[in-house]
Structure 1
Amino acid sequence: MLHVTTTRFRISAWVLLPTFFLAACTSGPGAEPVHANAAAPSRTTATAAQQEKKLGAEARSALEATATGSMVASGLERVSDGLHTDPGLSEGTSYRLTVVCAGTGTAVIEFAPAGAAARKQFSCDGTPVLERFTAKHAQHVDVNGGRGAAGMIAWRIERV
């Protein structure tokens, strides 16, 4: 009878041993399942996306309130990305660039080639900034956020 009990114990040990090791590897202080921490970054990302959506809506609303001419180009950009466009404007034609930056910090409007309009710094407080210019050959428009600036930039170029 002793022999039968020993055999049963050996079989039970081989069946239960992997379960013991599996439990030992996944339990204990600080051992959390991977999926428990995976939700935290997505909440942060969702909050950032909601903030971008809110600031984008504010910027677009302020931009739409200033529309008067024939739109040529428009868009919505993150301040961190900036606006960099070659809108294919007709040389010698007058245009108006309207930019609204909603968020924090400042941004700068620059034209290339230089001379189409002056470089202009403005606040990201949601106030529309209008800049009239006459297009030159291969006109390029840049709007870049200053150091620490954050938010959204809505912009539109209209023929005047």
Structure 2
Amino acid sequence: MVHELRPRNLRPLTRKFLLCASALAVALVTGCTSDSGGQSAPASGPRTQQNPSTTAPRNDDRQGEQVEKTLGTAEVGDNDPLFIEAGLERVGDGFHSVPELARGHAYELSVVCVGQGHIRLSVALKSPLRRTLACDGAMLRQRLTASGETVRIDGDRMAGATGMVGWRLDKVNKTDE
């Protein structure tokens, strides 16, 4: 008879409580055992080699910062009347841009690749431009004059190339022409 006196909704509440308690226990155990940025091996023990998948984002960040510093895109603002556009991509992804440029105006394209290998740069103009660039951190600067046609700028990875590539497009100052 004691069994009949127990409320019917107690059993679902007990199940929910146990599920919540189990989930909390798993979260606590996972949080306590995961690496929080410190060394997981004792100082006197052998050091383990880092997983390449965790070092790649760090390399991308470092290489990306180097590209932005070389191009000067970290400090460029919307108030710069000569700035048109800039971008930063992984070499493996390449970059592709179709900027809207005024016909007959001069522009300067700057491209920097940091990493290993080479990329192929192509600019579709009236007289197409094709160059192979080493991913050595050196900046390529190229003057462009927009024709009436659409300008397409592409940077594509060549076999084995890795790293980060960035570009910047600016109007040429009338006093510099």
Normalised to the residue count of structure 2, the TM-score between the two structures is: 0.61
Determine the structure 2 residue equivalent to 1:28: none
| Counterpart code for 2:142 | E
Is 1:80 aligned with 2:102?
no
| Counterpart code for 1:50 | R
Aligned length: 119
Structure with more helix by fraction: 1
| Counterpart code for 1:51 | N
- For the residue of structure 1 that corresponds to 2:129, the secondary structure is coil
Distance, in Å, in 2 between the alignment partners of 1:159 and 1:99 is: 15
Distance, in Å, in 1 between the alignment partners of 2:81 and 2:119 is: 24
Distance, in Å, in 2 between the alignment partners of 1:155 and 1:108 is: 13
| Counterpart code for 1:124 | C
Q: Which runs of 4+ in 1 moved over 3 A?
A: none
Is 1:107 aligned with 2:119?
yes
Distance, in Å, in 1 between the alignment partners of 2:144 and 2:122 is: 11
Determine the structure 2 residue equivalent to 1:22: none
1:118 shift after superposition: 2.4
Q: 1:69 to 1:148 in 2, by over 3 A?
A: farther
Is 1:158 aligned with 2:176?
no
Determine the structure 1 residue equivalent to 2:139: 128
Map 1:9-158 → 2, pairs under 5 A: 43-64=51-72, 70-115=82-127, 117-136=128-147, 137-158=149-170
Distance, in Å, in 1 between the alignment partners of 2:170 and 2:81 is: 5
- For the residue of structure 2 that corresponds to 1:89, the secondary structure is coil
1:45 shift after superposition: 2.7
Normalised to the residue count of structure 1, the TM-score between the two structures is: 0.67
Of residues 121-130 and 56-65 in structure 1, the stretch that sits farther from structure 2 once superposed is: 56-65
- For the residue of structure 1 that corresponds to 2:159, the secondary structure is coil
Superposition CA RMSD, Å: 2.5
Preserved contact between residue 125 and residue 146 of structure 2 (Cα < 8 Å): no
Preserved contact between residue 96 and residue 153 of structure 2 (Cα < 8 Å): yes
Preserved contact between residue 103 and residue 146 of structure 2 (Cα < 8 Å): yes
1:37-65 deviation digits (Å, cap 9, x = unpaired): xx9xx954321111100110111111119
Distance, in Å, in 2 between the alignment partners of 1:145 and 1:46 is: 22
Rg: which structure is higher? Answer: 1
Distance, in Å, in 2 between the alignment partners of 1:121 and 1:155 is: 15
Of residues 99-108 and 42-51 in structure 1, the stretch that sits farther from structure 2 once superposed is: 42-51
Percent of paired sites with the same residue = 32
| Counterpart code for 1:49 | P
